[in-house]
Amino acid sequence: METSDKIYVAGHNGMVGSAIVRKLESLGFTNILKRSSKELDLRVQEDVFSFMDTEKPDYIFLAAAKVGGIVANNTYRADFIYENIQIQNNVIHAAYKCGIKKLMFLGSSCIYPKMAPQPLKEEYLLTGLLEETNEPYAIAKISGIKMCEAYRDQYGCDFISVMPTNLYGPNDNYDLQNSHVLPAMIRKFHEAKLAGDAQVELWGTGSPMREFLHADDLAEACVFLMENYSDKQFVNIGTGVDVTIKELAETIKKEVGYEGEIYWNTDKPDGTPRKLMDVSKINGLGWKHKLDLSEGIKLVYAEYKEKHK
């Protein structure tokens, strides 16, 4: 990519999209296209086609999606599959019609079968049943991967896909109903500390294992792959290191300075037992994450406190 190329970051206000914008700007890219969901509803085909035909971007990072944690995924099942498929279909097909140079589609580690061997290798896709709680979202993301593969096969489009592990970072969602586990814990412990609560309730047993990647590391990986990778096979992006949810809770509790107890509500679901990414492919290409989890949590908690004074 040349620094003067027109680059459309779909979903630039979100955690992932904003991180990609920050990375591109830090590298001197000056022609970054941004449209908020109010300015351009990616679910509306006519609007997307008109936008692409007018702007004709050179490169696209497709980071726009309807996302959420276990509660949101399980509650708004129809919304998650419908809206994500609409966004993907419209942007990917419009990119083909406009003849853009390259598109990157961002998926999610939830695409893998619930009981797949660990760590999760790219070739494990579609080898087993999905986790029930987020199956609609996972199917939407799998559709996006397969769409990029199909457009490459049939039309020769340079469309690539990446699968990030669990993410956290600036501009994360801290809504307790719709957020992911790490930001939800930060908010719960922070508010409990301010209120002087003796106990914080967390869901499940604390035994599932999860891997966490800072959004700035993901953005660096995305730009790296956009410039250095062109193949049909999607690429995992992660740290290759995981922790139990219980260990995560203790780390956040310590960073926040909360001194009460943790109550594990075992009537609530755990979700997938483990989701560790095999990152040997991207490491072999020359990229490795920089921020470890404790350092990343320190950074995001500082940002959270600043935003929620």
Single out the catalytic residue among 59, 137, 151, 229. 137
Question: Is the peptide bond preceding residue 119 cis, with omega within 30 degrees of 0?
Answer: yes
Starting at the edge strand found earlier in the chain, the sheet holding 274-275 runs 243-244, 209-210, 274-275
Q: Which tokens in the block code for residue 95?
A: 């990119």
Question: Got the DSSP string for 12-69?
Answer: TTSHHHHHHHHHHHHTT---EE---TTT--TT-HHHHHHHHHHH--SEEEE-------
Per-residue pLDDT 10s for the chain (309 aa) are 999 999 999 999 999 999 999 999 999 999 999 999 999 999 999 999 999 999 999 999 999 999 877 777 888 899 999 999 999 999 999 999 999 999 999 998 889 998 899 999 999 999 999 988 889 999 999 999 999 999 999 999 999 999 999 999 998 989 887 778 899 999 999 999 999 999 999 999 999 999 999 999 999 999 999 999 999 999 999 999 999 999 999 999 999 999 999 999 999 988 778 889 999 999 999 999 999 999 999 999 999 999 887
The 10 Å Cβ neighbour count of residue 41 is 16
Is 109 assigned to a binding site?
yes
How far is residue 204's CA from residue 100's CA, in Å, rounded to a whole number? 45
Is 141 assigned to a binding site?
yes
Flag whether 255 is in a domain: no
Flag whether 183 is in a domain: no
Name, in order, each residue with C-beta under 8 angstroms of 231's C-beta and a sequence gap of 6 or more. Answer: 160
Is residue 141 within 8 A of residue 108, CB to CB? The reply is: yes
- CATH number of domain containing 59: 3.40.50.720
Question: Got the DSSP string for 250-291?
Answer: HHHHHHHT--SEEEEETTS---SSEE-B--HHHHHHT-----
How far is residue 6's CA from residue 44's CA, in Å, rounded to a whole number? 22
Structural domain total, the chain = 1
Flag whether 261 is in a domain: no
Backbone φ and ψ for 121, nearest 5 degrees, come out as: -90, 150
Whole domain around residue 110: which residue ranges? 7-172+211-240+275-291
Flag whether 12 is in a domain: yes
How far is residue 84's CA from residue 138's CA, in Å, rounded to a whole number? 10
Flag whether 260 is in a domain: no
Backbone φ and ψ for 59, nearest 5 degrees, come out as: -135, 150
Flag whether 159 is in a domain: yes
Flag whether 246 is in a domain: no
Is 180 assigned to a binding site?
yes
pTM, to two decimals: 0.93
Flag whether 265 is in a domain: no
How far is residue 220's CA from residue 52's CA, in Å, rounded to a whole number? 25
Is 270 assigned to a binding site?
yes
Please give the single-letter amino acid code of residue 205: T
Is 17 assigned to a binding site?
yes
CA dihedral 257, 259, 265, 266 (to 10 degrees): 90
Name, in order, each residue with C-beta under 8 angstroms of 102's C-beta and a sequence gap of 6 or more. Answer: 58, 59, 60, 158, 159, 160, 226, 230
Is 229 an annotated catalytic residue? no
How far is residue 170's CA from residue 113's CA, in Å, rounded to a whole number? 29
